[in-house]
């Protein structure tokens, strides 16, 4: 193992250590019990959001610039169990406290609008948005469809 003086260390800046960003989930996606969608590299998956408590009593995950963003869980968690899953400030899916889902898609020609789950997945694949695909997979892992609940239904 190499030894460095503080000035020679790879993370040093004028003899002082610099800060190092930490991924949202230590241990990676496997620590969350989810898998990585095919074709998504580690750099694409890196998220730099942190939780904060809202004055309204819910927890929100925001980036350094204040954008609601999280791919391995809901960006907004309400006390009653409702969730809003968001990627770069845009809603992917909203889930109310009773489990009802409303899906959204962001498409270059059709714009941002309410959609079925399948349309949201297709739009994300079409534009190559791996973050949205990763968020949808994490959502599916956290909320598996029961025999009576079909994915893709909006409510």
* pLDDT tens digit sequence for 43-76: 444 457 889 998 888 999 998 888 999 999 999 9
Tokens of 39: 């074709």
Q: For residue 72, give every residue at least 6 positions away whose Cβ sits within 8 Å of its Cβ, in sequence order, or none.
A: 24, 25, 29, 32, 34, 47, 134, 135, 138
More confident residue, 136 or 35: 136
**Per-residue pLDDT at 10:** 56
pLDDT bin (cut points 50, 70, 90) of residue 18 is: low
Q: Does residue 38 register a pLDDT over 50?
A: no
Q: Does residue 7 register a pLDDT over 80?
A: no
What is the dihedral angle through the alpha carbons of 119, 83, 113, 120, rounded to the nearest 10 degrees? -10
**Per-residue pLDDT at 108:** 85
Q: Give the mean model confidence (pLDDT) for residues 83-98.
A: 94
CB 70 within 8 A of CB 24: yes
Tokens of 2: 């190499």
Q: Give the mean model confidence (pLDDT) for residues 6-11.
A: 57
pLDDT bin (cut points 50, 70, 90) of residue 152 is: very low
Question: Which letter, b or e, does each residue of 79-102 get, where b requires 16 or more Cβ atoms within 10 Å of its Cβ?
Answer: eeebbbbbbeebbbbbbeeeeebe
The candidate with the shortest Cα–Cα distance to 29, out of 124, 138, 140, is: 138
Q: Give the mean model confidence (pLDDT) for residues 76-105.
A: 94
């Amino acid at each position: 193992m190499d030894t460095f003086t503080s000035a020679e260390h790879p993370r040093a800046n004028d003899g002082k250590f610099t800060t190092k960003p930490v991924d949202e989930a230590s241990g990676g996606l496997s620590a969350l019990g989810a898998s990585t969608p095919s074709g998504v590299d580690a750099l694409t998956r890196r998220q730099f959001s942190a939780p904060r408590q809202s004055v309204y009593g819910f927890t929100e995950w925001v980036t350094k610039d204040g954008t609601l963003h999280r791919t391995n869980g809901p960006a907004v968690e309400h006390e009653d169990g409702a969730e809003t899953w968001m990627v770069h400030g845009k809603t992917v899916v909203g889930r109310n406290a009773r489990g009802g889902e409303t899906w959204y898609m962001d498409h270059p020609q059709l714009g941002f609008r309410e959609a079925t789950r399948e349309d949201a997945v297709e739009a994300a694949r079409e534009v190559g948005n791996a973050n949205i695909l990763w968020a949808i997979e994490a959502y599916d892992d956290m909320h598996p469809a029961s025999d009576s609940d079909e994915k893709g239904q909006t409510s």
